[in-house]
Structure 1
Amino acid sequence: MKNKLKPGINHIEFWVSDIPKSVKFYSSFLPLIGWEQISNVSFSDGNIVIYFIEMKGINKTKSLGVRHLCFQATEKEQVNKVYEALETIKATIIRGPLFMHYSAAYYTVDFYDPDGQVLEVAHTP
């Protein structure tokens, strides 16, 4: 039988300090860009799964590695809706929504999750 898997990222595991707080946070914006909550600790876009593991007593430190995670918005208006949702829950916005010079019509909002992970939602046509 031929393997039908394609190269890519299978899943992303987030260590978080408080699962209910993180799930509530991510559920405020992920559905706006096409992600679905598939369990009490995970979301999927149909290709990749993001799930959360609660890790009590661990302090976040600066280190080398992934700086941020960018979620693709298929429409510019989704970026605005994500921004509005983040404002409603009083998330810390780093910048945006705004156009960036990275490519024509690159439109983004960058923000922190409850544990300080840098996230971005961008429309990159």
Structure 2
Amino acid sequence: MSLGTMNHLGITLSDLKRNEEKFYAPVLGFLGYEKVEDMDEMTLWFSAAHGCSINLWQAKTKAKQPHDRYAPGFHHFAFNADSREEIDRLHALLKKIGATVLDAPAEYSYVPGYYAVFFADPDGLKYELAHIPPGAIG
């Protein structure tokens, strides 16, 4: 592995089994992750292609307030896409599973050709799938 690459991401959910079935299983499967561990309080999704895992945890307590991405803490997490078509395909999947689409696929002015879709899990955690054309940065 290379210095600075992501090893794993741990996400705590209000209802692990429900959120995984409704949202994370279809989305992570689309992104190339496979469930490799399934325990009562945690499931582990791994991508050999990415060398990274995503660990989903069952919350031990109920949240006192809804997630606020503008308070200190997690704002959003962005995954890479190889093409705009992959983003459009994920958008179709998100609509099919009834996920919250925050911003439909569009080109954004962050860098030339930046194309992304923004969406949220059942707990309101924000995610993005982004395509940045080769050579657009640097």
Please indicate the TM-score interval, normalised by the length of the shorter structure.
Answer: 0.7 to 0.9
For the residues of structure 1 that align with 2:89 and 2:13, how far apart are their CA atoms? 25
Q: 1:53 aligns to what?
A: 57
- Whether 1:22 aligns to 2:19 is yes
| Cα 1:9–1:101 shift into 2, 3 Å | same
1:6 to 2, 11, 22: 2
Tell me the matched-pair count.
121
For the residues of structure 1 that align with 2:33 and 2:99, how far apart are their CA atoms? 19
For the residues of structure 1 that align with 2:115 and 2:18, how far apart are their CA atoms? 27
The one-letter amino acid paired with 1:19 is L
Q: CA RMSD in A?
A: 1.6
CA contact 1:69–1:119 (8 Å) conserved in 2: yes
Segments of structure 1 that go 5 or more residues without pairing to the other structure are none
What TM-score, normalized to structure 1?
Answer: 0.85
Show the 5 A alignment for 1:1-125. 5-7=1-3, 8-24=5-21, 25-40=23-38, 41-46=43-48, 47-59=51-63, 60-62=66-68, 63-125=71-133
Segments of structure 2 that go 5 or more residues without pairing to the other structure are 134-138
Deviations 1:77-119 (A, max 9, x none): 1101110111011111110211111122211110110111011
The one-letter amino acid paired with 2:80 is Q
Deviations 1:30-60 (A, max 9, x none): 2323223323312223211111110143214
Aligned-pair CA distance for 1:74: 1.4
The one-letter amino acid paired with 1:23 is E
Percent pairwise identity:
28
